Structure 1
């Protein structure tokens, strides 16, 4: 009898121990050992990420859906996301109204040329501020940072007068020449990015190159600039997007002779139907919301493809430019 009682007690202890371990395992699975490892935390994180993704992607999905709708689907309130019939005429009308080939070349010239110049000039300036010692270095950096704080509207009239006297209005020089001298769109931010990146590199590289007899220019072009390829990609993509989407400065300095895509969209309706379209013309060939969304898609598509190609290196560059020494 005593043996059976001992066995039963031992069995109960083993059973309770097994149940306790299972409960502990289930608790670890649900809650996790750390705050972000359990199923509950992961479900909450995925829920929040799904909401954020919807908020960011909903306008893009709306643009695609509206672009593919015909006039009947646009006027039908029951058609929300999926059109009954796909209307490709919206794309063709937007393509013609934007004068896409020429406007695309103008935008590519401004965005590509300005971005490449900013990468080169801002990299040199950031390297100088990070590695070189010269009189007035702190004052120069303060002035660079000040240009980032001053809104462009404050200096718009002096810039317009200056460019007019130089004969640069309605030409790409109003954007390319300032970028060549480190005064392009958001150049101060890019200088700060490069300065932060070059600060993160070990000084042993610079000392070893100087011992081998390398000049400062050779040190920059042969060692520092290749190491800064990730930062160059980040600056190029940011600069490209800002130049591509710029509409305020382009509307002030550029006319119809040299108009990028960002300004063509606002004049899409007038371009297709003239400055004063009659109601008869509007009823026969209306500018629908689908045409405008198609024009927006044609403008967004090139930088979107560029980002999709360079996404991996862009994320790596963002991580590296955030390092501190």
Structure 2
């Protein structure tokens, strides 16, 4: 009897232990050992990321869908995102209305050369603020931060007067010359990015190079710049996209002989169709005659920087992590 009771007790203890282990395993699976490791947390995060991704992708889907619709599909309320038939005439009209080859060259001239100049000058300035010792360094850094915080609308009038006296209006010099001196679009932000990156590098590299007799410029170009490849890529892509998409500054300084794509899009409707545009849905802010070409033109404009980012996204993400922007 005692052996039988002991056997039943041992069997009961084993059953309870196994049940407890299964319960704990199920809890770890659902809730996780930490809050973020559980199945519920992962499902919530996945749902949030899906919603955020949809909010970002939806305008692009609408743009592509509308650019492929005919006028009949635009008027028909039954047609949703998927058109009845693909209409590529909108892209032909947009290509013609934007004068895309000329606009592409004008925009690329500003975006490419302005970005390259900003990478070089902002890296040099950021290195000087991070590593070199000179009088007034903190004051210079404060002024750079102040330039970053001041809204550009406050400096537009004096800049326009200066550029007008120099004869730079309607030329790319209004963007390329400031970029040469580290004062292009968001130049102060890029200086801060490079400064933070160079501050994170070990001083032993510089000390070893100085022992070998390297000058400051040789140290910068032979050692520091190769290490700053990720930061350079981040700054280049940010600068390129901002130069490519700028419209406020371009509308003030460029309007006649040198016109980027962002300005051509705003005037494409009347240039392309003249008085043919009939506003069937003025209350909705859409014209079915011109909405397709406008969306096609918008997609043609965003496609080059989008393609560049798709190619360089892995290095861009690594550069973001190394520069400390995610901290």
TM-score by length of 2: 0.94
Q: Is the contact between residue 110 and residue 172 of structure 2 (CA under 8 Å) also seen in structure 1?
A: yes
Aligned residue number for residue 247 of structure 2 = 247
- Alignment of structure 1 residues 152-301 onto 2, 5 Å: 152-274=152-274, 277=275, 287-301=289-303
- Shift of the alpha carbon at 1:323? 7.8
Q: How many residues align?
A: 319
Could you say what secondary structure the match of 1:297 adopts?
helix
Describe the superposition over 1:9-45 as per-residue Cα deviations: whole angstroms up to 9, x where unpaired: 2212211111111111111111111111110110011
- Cα 1:14–1:304, aligned 2, differ >3 Å: closer, same or farther? same
C-alpha distance in structure 1 between counterparts of 2:160 and 2:14, whole Å: 86
Residue 283 of structure 2 corresponds to: none
Does the C-alpha gap of structure 1 residues 272 and 279 become closer, same or farther in structure 2, counting only changes over 3 Å?
A: closer
- CA-to-partner distance for each residue in 1:72-105, whole Å, 9 max, x for gaps? 1111111111111111111111111010001001
Are the counterparts in 1 of residues 71 and 289 from structure 2 also a CA contact under 8 Å? no
Matched-pair contact (CA < 8 Å) for 1:269–1:287: no
Q: Which 4+ runs in 1 deviate beyond 3 A? A: none
From the superposition, tell whether residues 124 and 18 of structure 1 become closer, same or farther in structure 2 (CA, over 3 Å): same
Deviation at 1:2, TM superposition (A): 3.0
1:304 aligns with: 306
Q: 1:25-40 alignment to 2 at 5 Å?
A: 25-40=25-40
CA contact (8 A) 1:200 1:323 kept: no
* Distance of 2:204 and 2:132 partners within structure 1: 15
Greater shift in the superposed pair: 232-241 or 80-89: 80-89
Unaligned runs of 5+ in 1: none
2:129 aligns with: 129
Distance in 2 (alpha carbons) for counterparts of 1:228 and 1:156: 33
5+ residue gaps, structure 2? 281-286
C-alpha distance after superposition, 1:211-244 (max 9, x if no partner): 1000000000000011001000000000000000
TM-score normalized by the length of structure 1: 0.95
Aligned-CA RMSD value: 1.7
Q: What do residues 240-287 of structure 1 show as CA deviations (whole Å, max 9, x unaligned)?
A: 00000001111111123110001111011122134xx2568x9xx974
